[in-house]
């Protein structure tokens, strides 16, 4: 069975030595001293290691079952869910007015990484609830909030998001689900939704579905979509559960991974729904929390890589095969542990340097969300909106790649179910697809975010990197050569790509759109290069300050050096691809493929 060790120490390093959250002028952060966060992370870590991780292969093997409309989750899920509730984890960053703990989002993300690493399928149940909570919190009426939020924050009720229909996923303008106005002010919802994660299950007493539907007579396309609350059980005036609503699970999807989460076909058959937010403004309401939702999926991507890496490392330190070419390292044994071999180390460092860079990137993103929200800081809002598709697309592509590399470290054992690596690969795969495929992320980045507010945010990003380098270079030759120089080169590649889009994308948008995916990756590399540079500075400071834990900080520098020397140079190839423009992509006639 796979292992999991909560990386609380590394999280503390990122939060307090790199991001220095305890010094940030963000309301709520003043509570986040190193001791407090460590205590919270330790608790979440224990739950992850002892309760969630052991259930992960169980959930994969058993999956969910549907019988007579009832969905049963795998053995042990209900018990674990109750422990999550009892610990107050579901409302960690929720509004205290509705029973939440009101903690900053950055802490939610740190805790979330551990929950996801240890059991992604399980954690999706509460993840979806959190998304539905956030939409109701932002757009619901006071009455709706009072009716639904306390129980959702508690976890005794759960939530879902219903967007996709068989004929439309990305192109939601084609939605057919209808919402007919009723005399009592409610709507009668009819239609079929697919791929609804946690659409039906036995973990909560009620399920609050958020459903996109069209009210007849409204505008065409996405401008005629509204958002509705459709509870599985209607709620009586006193808050107790009333009659069963006209919504049911029509089937479970058989899929590659995340078997422990029920992916449902949801049938709405004249179900009673309640408009949330404004009529025809459903898309806006559904996507208000998009930055958080997509950051959460980016987190899932690297979190699977993180646990996969831990298992690859344990295997590499234990498995004896062959000898170190420079001399035996385990002369008394039959062979050396495979971590002595350069190609095994290359593979492990590829994983490790991505995972730790990604963690810093995600936490930094979460900090920006806190700043945007809690300080009402427009610059932070603009920056995180720009970076959100990068976090989602890059961290899930590379996170998946990392699980595959980790699987490779185990050789044949990686292909067997026994060792668990293949589950991480199958589970991680979905993160590149849902919450907007990574292709869609790249379109969002290049087609929308780059030019937003006159390109102000991307210019701010470039300025930030430039100032960062200017402020830090010159103090240490090694850091200059190993970190800041490569970062500068990569950042120049990114600027050159942006310039190419400016000069060629205006007259022919396909010149930009053909390079959008590469641009997303280029951007991701620069962000991780920046994070590694920041981590290197923090590690250097600790070493200079006479830390008692030299090994940790030296490992940080060595791991960062690997990223800068061997991952970051990919930016050159990405730029070259982008600069080849639309012709190689658009030339071939669709019928001649």
235 binds a copy of itself (CB under 8 A): no
- Six token digits for residue 198: 């946690």
348 binds a copy of itself (CB under 8 A): yes
> Residue 589 and residue 406: Cα distance in Å, rounded?
39
344 binds a copy of itself (CB under 8 A): yes
Q: Specify the stretch interacting with a copy of itself by CB under 8 A; choose among 74-82, 101-109, 453-461, 582-590.
A: 582-590
65 binds a copy of itself (CB under 8 A): no
Among 418, 463, 471, 544, binds a copy of itself (CB under 8 A): 418
Please check whether residue 165 is in contact with residue 191, taking contact to mean a CB–CB distance below 8 angstroms: yes
> Residue 309 and residue 316: Cα distance in Å, rounded?
10
Return the residues of window 186-225 that contact a copy of itself according to CB under 8 A.
195
Min CB(451)–a copy of itself separation in Å: 14
57 binds a copy of itself (CB under 8 A): no
Min CB(151)–a copy of itself separation in Å: 30
591 binds a copy of itself (CB under 8 A): yes
Single out the residue of 91, 82, 10, 8 nearest to residue 51, CA to CA.
82
The residue count for binding a copy of itself (CB under 8 A) is: 95
Could you give the 3-state DSSP secondary structure of residue 263? Answer: strand
> Residue 593 and residue 591: Cα distance in Å, rounded?
6
From 49, 435, 477, 570, the catalytic residue: 435
Could you give the 3-state DSSP secondary structure of residue 101? Answer: coil
Binding string, residues 395-414; x marks residues near a copy of itself by CB under 8 A: -----x---x--xx--xx-x
Binding string, residues 357-396; x marks residues near a copy of itself by CB under 8 A: ----------------------------------------
> Residue 246 and residue 542: Cα distance in Å, rounded?
60
66 binds a copy of itself (CB under 8 A): no
Q: Specify the stretch interacting with a copy of itself by CB under 8 A; choose among 78-86, 228-236, 324-332, 469-477.
A: 324-332
User: Residue 139: CA atoms inside 13 Å, Cβ hemisphere, count?
Assistant: 25
Give the list of residues 6+ apart from residue 326 with CB closer than 8 angstroms, or none: none
Q: Specify the stretch interacting with a copy of itself by CB under 8 A; choose among 37-45, 79-87, 272-280, 339-347.
A: 339-347
Among 232, 373, 429, 540, binds a copy of itself (CB under 8 A): 429
Min CB(195)–a copy of itself separation in Å: 5
Binding string, residues 109-148; x marks residues near a copy of itself by CB under 8 A: ----------------------------------------
What is the CB neighbour count within 10 angstroms for residue 17? 18
Q: Show the CA angle centred on residue 42, arms to residues 46 and 62, nearest 5°.
A: 25
**Ramachandran angles phi, psi of 197, nearest 5°:** -65, 135
Among 108, 158, 304, 438, binds a copy of itself (CB under 8 A): 438
Nearer to a copy of itself, 281 or 426 (CB): 426
Among 185, 334, 454, 545, binds a copy of itself (CB under 8 A): 334
Min CB(222)–a copy of itself separation in Å: 11
Please check whether residue 144 is in contact with residue 274, taking contact to mean a CB–CB distance below 8 angstroms: yes
317 binds a copy of itself (CB under 8 A): yes
451 binds a copy of itself (CB under 8 A): no
Nearer to a copy of itself, 95 or 570 (CB): 570
590 binds a copy of itself (CB under 8 A): yes
Give the list of residues 6+ apart from residue 254 with CB closer than 8 angstroms, or none: none
325 class by beta-carbon count within 10 Å (0-12 exposed, 13-18 middle, 19+ buried): exposed
Among 45, 63, 100, 257, binds a copy of itself (CB under 8 A): 257
Give the list of residues 6+ apart from residue 462 with CB closer than 8 angstroms, or none: 491, 494, 495
Active site residue 435: yes
> Residue 18 and residue 390: Cα distance in Å, rounded?
21
Q: What is the β-pairing status of strands 247-252 and 263-276?
A: antiparallel
Return the residues of window 528-567 that contact a copy of itself according to CB under 8 A.
551-552, 554-555, 558-559, 561-562, 565-566
Q: Show the CA angle centred on residue 191, arms to residues 185 and 197, nearest 5°.
A: 105
Min CB(438)–a copy of itself separation in Å: 7
Among 106, 175, 339, 360, binds a copy of itself (CB under 8 A): 339
Q: What is the β-pairing status of strands 225-231 and 206-214?
A: antiparallel
Q: Specify the stretch interacting with a copy of itself by CB under 8 A; choose among 228-236, 248-256, 356-364, 377-385.
A: 248-256
Nearer to a copy of itself, 154 or 165 (CB): 165
Among 432, 479, 487, 490, binds a copy of itself (CB under 8 A): 432
DSSP per residue over 353-379, as a string?
HHHHHHHHHHHHHHHHHHHHHHS--HH
256 class by beta-carbon count within 10 Å (0-12 exposed, 13-18 middle, 19+ buried): exposed
The catalytic site residues sit at: 435
């Amino acid at each position: 069975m796979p292992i999991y060790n909560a990386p609380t120490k590394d999280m503390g390093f990122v939060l307090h030595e790199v991001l220095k959250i305890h010094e940030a002028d963000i309301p709520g952060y003043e509570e986040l001293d190193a001791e407090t966060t460590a205590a919270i992370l330790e608790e979440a870590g224990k739950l992850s290691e002892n309760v969630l991780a052991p259930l992960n292969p169980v959930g994969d093997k058993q999956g969910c079952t549907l019988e007579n409309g009832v969905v049963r989750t795998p053995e042990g899920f209900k018990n674990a869910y109750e422990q999550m509730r009892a610990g107050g984890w579901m409302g960690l960053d929720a509004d205290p007015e509705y029973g939440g703990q009101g903690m900053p989002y950055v802490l939610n993300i740190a805790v979330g990484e551990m929950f996801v690493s240890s059991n992604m399928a399980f954690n999706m149940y509460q993840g979806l609830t959190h998304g539905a909570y956030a939409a109701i919190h932002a757009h619901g009426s006071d009455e709706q909030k009072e009716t639904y939020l306390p129980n959702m924050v508690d976890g005794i009720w759960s939530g879902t998001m219903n967007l996709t229909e068989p004929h439309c996923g990305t192109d939601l303008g084609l939605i057919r689900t209808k919402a007919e106005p009723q005399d009592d002010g409610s709507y009668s919802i009819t239609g079929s939704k697919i791929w609804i994660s946690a659409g039906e299950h036995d973990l909560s007493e009620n399920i609050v579905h958020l459903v996109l539907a069209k009210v007849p007579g409204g505008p065409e396309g996405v401008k005629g979509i509204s958002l509705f609350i459709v509870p599985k059980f209607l709620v009586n005036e006193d808050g107790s559960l009333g009659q069963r609503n006209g919504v049911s699970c029509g089937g479970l999807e058989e899929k590659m991974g995340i078997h422990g989460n029920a992916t449902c076909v949801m049938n709405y058959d004249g179900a009673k729904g309640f408009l949330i937010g404004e009529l025809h403004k459903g898309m806006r309401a559904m996507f208000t929390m998009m930055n958080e939702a997509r950051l959460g999926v980016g987190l899932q991507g690297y979190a699977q890589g993180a646990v996969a890496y831990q298992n690859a490392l344990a295997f590499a330190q234990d498995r004896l095969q062959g000898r170190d070419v420079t001399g035996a390292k385990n002369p008394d044994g039959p062979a050396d542990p495979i971590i002595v071999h350069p190609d095994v180390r290359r593979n492990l460092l590829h994983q490790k340097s991505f995972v730790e860079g990604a963690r810093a990137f995600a936490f930094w993103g979460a900090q920006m969300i806190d700043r945007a929200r809690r300080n009402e800081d427009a610059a932070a809002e603009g920056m995180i909106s720009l970076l959100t598709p990068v976090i989602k697309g890059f961290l899930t592509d590379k996170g998946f790649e990392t699980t595959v590399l980790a699987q490779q470290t185990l050789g044949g054992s990686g292909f067997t179910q026994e060792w668990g690596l293949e589950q991480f690969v199958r589970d991680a795969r979905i993160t590149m697809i849902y919450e907007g495929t990574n292709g869609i992320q790249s379109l969002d980045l290049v087609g929308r975010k780059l030019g937003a507010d006159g390109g102000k945010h991307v210019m701010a990003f470039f300025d930030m990197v430039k100032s960062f380098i200017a402020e830090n270079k010159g103090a240490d030759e090694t850091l200059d050569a190993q970190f800041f120089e490569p970062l500068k080169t990569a950042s120049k590649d990114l600027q050159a790509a942006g310039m190419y889009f400016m000069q060629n994308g205006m007259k022919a948008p396909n010149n930009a759109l053909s390079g959008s995916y590469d641009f997303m990756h280029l951007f991701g590399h620069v962000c991780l290069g920046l994070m590694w540079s920041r981590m290197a500075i923090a590690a250097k400071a600790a070493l200079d300050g006479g830390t008692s834990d030299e090994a940790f900080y030296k490992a940080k520098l060595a791991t960062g050096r690997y990223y800068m020397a061997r991952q970051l140079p990919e930016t050159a190839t990405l730029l070259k691809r982008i600069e080849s423009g639309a012709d190689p992509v658009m030339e071939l006639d669709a019928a001649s493929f």
